[in-house]
Structure 1
Amino acid sequence: MNRTIIYTISNPQYLRMLEKCSTFDQLKQIHAQTITVGLARFTYITSKLLAFSAISDIDYAQTILNQISMPTIFDFNTMILGYSKTSKREMGVLLYAKMRNEGIKPNARTFPVLIRTCNCLRSLRQVHGQVVKYGNVSDVYVTSLLISMYSSYKAIELAKQVFEESAYKNVVCCTSLITGCFSNGLIDDACKVFDEMPERNDVSYSAMISGFVKNELFNEAIQLYLRMINCGVGNPNRSLLLSVLNACGAVGAFEIGRSIHCQLVEESFSVDVDFGTALIDFYAKCGDIEKAKDIFNAMPYKDVAAWSAMILGLATNGKNETAFDLFEEMEQKGPVPNGITFVAVLVACNHKTLLKKPWSILGKMSKVYDVELTIEHYGCMIDLLARSGQLKEAEKLIKLMPMKPDGAIWGSFLHGCLTHNAIHLVETAGKRLLELEPTHSGRYVGLANMYASNGSWEGLIKLRKMMTERRVAIAPSWSFIEVYGNVNKFFVDDQCHPQAKDIHDVLKLLKIVLMN
């Protein structure tokens, strides 16, 4: 006689099966079994199935949700979260509307996931209205998300409004607004929020330092890091140290960057592939290419970013042929090269022994690796051609580009024209460049020098008149120098430093020694 087994909600068999489920196919098999034995009618089981499937296949999860006769707020929250992690984010907002039409009210977990599904400013404002309606404006996490999302849609004034209306301006909300201000180019506003914070932690310092680095304010980033260390504000987190290393590499702050490396070693900090790549980039930019090679060789795992950083580091330190050899080694036993790798390889080709390589590299990019040529690749090629005096080829390539050439490309071409005294091409390049960058003082200076050296006084007068009309001020040149672990920024004929007189006296002495 066949034995009938009656499964009840207390039977944990299928729950254990769900916990052990490792593939989506297994999940579908378990779902089929629950339907066969009649467990699909139990909300607890279907909710579990829904939660697991929403991670793997949102369409399948939607099918399960449609089969639930009385879905709960938990089910809707699960699905909205699932949609927020897919390309169908807008479906989360539509699902929320369906939920409200069915009379189900949102709870504390609804809005944090719902905000993430907003794929446009209009949708975000509608959700914000629901947040206000149901009294969730006091939720710090919700406030922080609203600030972040408004900032990402360039609605920084709305982000500020949310912040000002918040009753709790804690470190989380302040940090979100700081990040938003930086992403919208409002450096002073970000600094103001940071300075007015009642308390600061490593996350808020990290947001400031990262913001400075992304806006190329490298010295400010380093100074704030040193201030943080002196104040004893916790331990610098991973993101913060990566940002500081990038800043140190950009300005050549060798001692500070090396101290961070030593700190990582002393504290047994996990130097993963990201840190390894950052250290390679740092040492290469500071000219210690041997140290960069040591780190690269010691890395147990190297991803495409690490290989690309090492190739670029070798190329920018005059080791062009070694860089090209490393690329060939990467092709044999490394990861598949990407677009960034090929930028590094093209930079490496900027050497008289490798000038014939770039065209074959471009062919290999598209035919072998299916890598699409970007404006950066074209920029490298045009720079190579212009530097080597192949100006006609460079001009032809500019005309054949599928995208509009930017200021960097016309700048490279103009520099090549000036270097090789191709006066007939300078006018065209200069005109295009000034159309793209009408307030870039450096472009005017280059053209002015060319006009002056060739005695073209009429052209020089016209150029100076154009600068006056456009109110272009010549920005003073500046650089950095690291002295005893302190990074100092200085300008041409700088008199602001407290030891300016002594510095200029030493410079005059050095000039005399060099002349003799």
Structure 2
Amino acid sequence: MSSTRHSPCLHLLQQWQNLTMKQIKQIHAHTITNNLTRFSYISSRILALYSFSPRSHFHYAETLFTHIPNPNLFDYNSIITSYTTNSQSHKSLSIFTKMLNTNIRPNSNTFTTVVKACDTLSSLEQVFSLSMKLGNSSDLYFVSSLIIAFSKHGAIHFARDVFDESSNRNVVCWTSLVSGYCSCGLVNEARELFDEMPQRNDASYSAMVSGYVKNGFFSEGIELFRELKKNKGCAGVKPNGTLLVSVLKACTMVGAFEEGKWIHSYVEENGLEYELELGTALIDFYTKCGCLKSAEEVFEKMAVKDVATWSAMILGLAINGNNLMALKLFEKMEKVGPKPNEITFIGVLTACNRKSLFGEALRLFGIMSEKYGIAPSIEHYGCVVDVLARSGRVKKALTFIESMHIEPDGAIWGSLLNGCLLHGDFELGQKVGKYLIEFEPQHSGRYILLANIYANMGEIYEVLSHLRRKVEEFSGDKDALFSFEI
């Protein structure tokens, strides 16, 4: 190795953080042509660089590993990490088994990576058992990885056992278990653990608040955030982007406008970047609160916009009645933005809910699959039926429903029935209404629509008798939904 100690190649490998993939390949080629790969340090370092490279270069690591005659622990850890990172879990476990058979003793880094590759609870238990025998249970990163892995498999009791039996726990371990409880729907248990934490950081608050939000406890999530603000950051804890996104989602769900507006002010005052998730969450919040101007300001300030950002803005314009602006923004997205997805098309089809835009709705529905290869969902079909029915094309809407590749739901039939009532097609409305009541007998709104159809046909007594019979049939109580006096 002394002959390579001053090699430019070795110097470059030591500066690996700054290397591009093109440079790594050039270095690799240089080592091969100069017979430097016989030195284990050089081959190991190149293997590590390939292992942490993007997925498109993953096979280089795999090929290089097979050409190393006697891989060491560092080599095994590199290739196991590469397999795990690239979702090749079965290969990770296979290499791990091979490693054990060569009598190379795994370390805590090995186990931390391998537990992430365990796609079954039984394999995870086996790895955990082996790690206990080899004395790796005290490593903080390994403990945290185990807690996350067991929680992912729904074995929260095992995660708690790992936590309780660990002699060395830090804030990461505590936070991992809080997240684990939340992922299993045990929000109260998570809050109890959160309150017991000897130390909290921004990740801890993010875990608890996002846990509340994901489980539908929106007010509780906002209240915890308020506690954090009231305590002036709780010993230096400052809200991070992930925490702010979770709070914004909660604010959107319950309409907590002032709290969401405070977050926007906080971002501005602290010079925070409008990163993808945060910026998109602010757009979603403002549009659903009807503040389009603020949403547009955030949209324009975002340096990078992904498909979720564009879709949120388009849908926001649509639901606030700015139909033409939403369609123009979609046109711009097609020219300069990312490729639209299924959510984008829900937004643009929603924007077509005016009578004059039914043709545009059909055109967009067509290009969705023809141009972008997106299979229509029930939501896409529902948008088209709604605009056709609203515009008075009820027969066309019925034909469209009959051509659907999936079973229409009650909302779609309800849109058609509403269109029949709105535009006076009572004969079709009567047929659709009767079918819809059979389809959704417990939905009281369907009875009311059918009642209006019959009333417009001058058959109010018939509908009242019909509705009473249906109510008695499905509820056992003739006064449950209606108590008409004739």
Structure 2 residue aligned with 1:349, among 349, 352, 360? Answer: 352
Select 1:248's aligned residue among 248, 251, 258.
Answer: 251
1:291 partner amino acid: S
Aligned to 2:292: 289
Q: Which has the higher helix share?
A: 2
For residues 87-98 of structure 1, the aligned pairs below 5 Å read 87-98=87-98
Give yes or no for the alignment of 1:458 onto 2:469.
yes
Specify the alignment match of 1:8 in structure 2.
3
For 1:400 and 1:143, the matched residues in 2 are separated by 55
1:468-483 to 2 correspondences below 5 Å: none
Could you tell me which residue of structure 2 aligns to residue 510 of structure 1? Answer: none
Provide the residue aligned with 2:201 in structure 1: 201
Write the distance in 2 (CA, Å) between the matches of 1:218 and 1:74: 46
1:446 corresponds to: 445
**Using CA pairs below 8 Å that are at least 6 residues apart, which structure has the higher relative contact order?**
1
Distance 1:159 1:374, change over 3 A: farther
**Could you tell me which amino acid in structure 2 is paired with residue 380 of structure 1?**
C
The 1-side partners of 2:184 and 2:310 are apart by 32
| Contact 2:398–2:416 under 8 Å retained in 1 | no
The aligned amino acid for 1:66 is T
- Does the C-alpha gap of structure 1 residues 174 and 414 become closer, same or farther in structure 2, counting only changes over 3 Å? farther
Match of 1:38 in 2: 35
Pair 185,451 (structure 1): closer, same or farther in 2 beyond 3 Å: farther
* Alignment partner, residue 514 of structure 1: none
- 1:275-309 residue CA offsets vs partner (Å, 9 max, x unmatched): 33222222111111122223323444433332222
Evaluate the alpha carbon distance shift between residue 218 and residue 400 of structure 1 in structure 2; reply closer, same or farther with a 3 A threshold. farther
Q: Deviations over 1:229-280 (max 9, x none)?
A: 1123211111011111222222221211111111111111222343332222
Structure 1 Cα separation of the partners of residues 385 and 124 of structure 2: 43
1:59–1:295 Cα change, 3 Å: closer
The CA deviation at 1:389 is: 6.3
Letter in 1 for 2:273: S
Does 1:140 pair with 2:140?
yes
Residues 333 and 68 of structure 1, relative CA distance in 2, 3 Å threshold: closer
Aligned to 1:187: 187
| Contact 2:388/2:394, CA 8 A, preserved across alignment | yes
**Residues 418, 426 of structure 1: 8 Å contact kept:** no
Contact preservation (8 Å) 1:389, 1:416: no
Normalising by structure 2, we get a TM-score of 0.83
- Judged with a 3 Å threshold, the aligned counterparts in structure 2 of structure 1 residues 298 and 29 are, in CA distance, closer, same or farther, namely closer
d(CA) in 2 for partners of 1:156 and 1:402? Answer: 41
Distance 1:277 1:333 in 2: 18
**Retained in 1: the 8 A contact 2:397–2:416?**
no
Residue type matched to 2:7 in 1? P
Contact in 1 for aligned 2:92/2:117 (Cα 8 Å): yes
CA RMSD of the aligned region, Å? 3.1
Q: Secondary structure at the match of 2:52?
A: helix
Give the C-alpha shift of residue 99 in structure 1: 0.5
Does the CA contact (< 8 Å) of 1:249 and 1:285 recur in 2?
yes
Alpha-carbon distance in structure 1 between the residues aligned to 2:372 and 2:214: 30
Displacement after TM superposition at 1:429 (Å)? 3.7
Please say if residues 471 and 477 of structure 2, whose CA atoms lie closer than 8 Å, have aligned partners that are also in contact. Answer: no
How far off is 1:106 after superposition? Answer: 0.8
Mapping for residues 275-314 of structure 1, pairs under 5 Å: 275-314=278-317
Query: CA 1:450–1:316 in structure 2 vs 1: closer, same or farther (change >3 Å)?
Result: closer
Distance 1:143 1:385, change over 3 A: farther
Structure 1 residue 315 displacement after superposition = 0.8
Distance 2:168 2:2 in 1: 50
Kindly indicate whether the alpha-carbon contact (under 8 Å) linking 1:156 and 1:180 is maintained by their aligned counterparts in 2: yes
Q: Is the 8 A contact 1:93 1:117 kept in 2?
A: yes
- CA distance 1:135–1:37, shift in 2 (3 Å): same
1:87 deviates by 3.1
Question: Matched residues in 1 for 2:196 and 2:413: separation?
Answer: 47
How many aligned positions are there? 453
Are the aligned partners of 1:50 and 1:65 in contact in 2 as well (CA < 8 Å)? Answer: yes
Measured after TM superposition, the shift of residue 432 of structure 1 is 4.5
Tell me if structure 1 keeps the 8 A contact 2:433–2:450. no
- Specify the code of the residue in structure 1 equivalent to 2:414: L
Alignment-mate amino acid for residue 35 of structure 1: I
Matched residue, 1:47: 44
Residue 313 of structure 2 aligns to a residue whose secondary structure is: helix
Helix, strand or coil for the counterpart of 2:88? coil
Contact preservation (8 Å) 1:61, 1:79:
yes
Task: Show the counterpart of 1:410.
Answer: 410
Is the deviation greater in 178-187 or in 220-229?
Answer: 178-187
Find the residue that maps to 1:41 and give its secondary structure. coil
Structure 1 residues 59-78: aligned runs within 5 Å: 59-78=59-78
